[in-house]
Amino acid sequence: MADMFYCPNLTASPATLTGQEAHHAINVLRLKVGDAADIFDGCGHSAQGRVVSLSRREVAIEYTEVVRHESPPRRLTVAAAIPKGDRLKWMVEKLAELGVHQYVPLLTQRSVVKPGQNKLDKLAATVVSAAKQSRNYHLLSIAPPITLTDLLSRQQMETAESARRLFIAHPDATAVDTPATSDGPTDTTLLIGPEGGFTDGEVRQVEAADGQAISWSGGILRIETAAIVFAAELLRPSAATSTD
């Protein structure tokens, strides 16, 4: 299997790799003219090509056919409080590998970490690396931080236009594990609170917005663990567990 590179512009051949992608191709993989290279634009398009020229900072890849990959039938948005330190990077990496549609840094009453834009911008390279690792042709998007109140208001407006599901991870939920999922296309938002958990008032806010509380039978999970565990369950084609 050829190495895979992110190239946001696949409108004309040859495509040009620059920045980190060119550095990786030239200095890490040491590609040469004639070597095979797969490219993707992060929006569902990919192509198989070959290196036709290299310079110190650019790699040109010639390709013929561009393949269109359909978007996943399940679009999952994970709105999670920001974990401390490198745990945020690890969480985003795994969400991207799973094929999550969007990560939203969630600001709650008990939030401790409020990331600067520079920290969020640095996650872009992590997202690209994870997409290449898992061969996901649609990049995870990272939204600006948002308060729970504003997110719920947006959620209700979007639900009025098309059916969406809303879940909140909460240890006191009456649900057992994760809810059953249907086989049809579904847009879902998953809420994960901070280390201190959601306040009772925040939980009531989510319930008033038709959100459903879900829990993990194995115990209370850290932010990043909960995000990965519940995301994996909600993205499965068919989940056997039920909330009844």
- The ranges assigned to domains in the chain are 3-68, 74-234
Q: What global pTM score does this model have?
A: 0.86
Rounded-to-integer distance, Cα 12 and Cα 25, Å: 20
- The 3 state secondary structure assigned to 33-80 is CCCEEEEECCECEEEEEEEEEECCCCEEEEEEEEEECCCCCEEEEEEE
Residue 147, helix vs strand vs coil: strand
The CATH number of domain 74-234 is 3.40.50.880: no
Task: List C-alpha distances in Å: 230 to 129, 201, 233.
Answer: 22, 23, 5
163: tokens are: 């059916």
pLDDT, residue 241, reads 40
Q: Which CATH number fits domain 3-68: 1.10.357.10, 2.40.240.20, 2.40.10.120, 3.90.226.30?
A: 2.40.240.20
pLDDT, residue 240, reads 39
pLDDT, residue 218, reads 74
Pick the closest to residue 173 from 193, 159, 152 (CA basis).
193
Give pLDDT tens digits along the chain (244 positions). 788 999 998 888 999 999 999 999 999 999 999 999 999 999 999 999 999 999 989 999 999 889 999 888 789 999 999 998 889 999 999 999 999 999 999 999 988 877 777 778 889 999 999 999 999 999 999 999 999 999 999 887 776 556 688 999 988 775 545 555 555 547 899 999 999 899 999 999 999 999 999 988 777 889 999 999 999 989 886 543 444 4
Cβ-in-10-Å burial (0-12, 13-18, 19+) of 229 comes to: middle
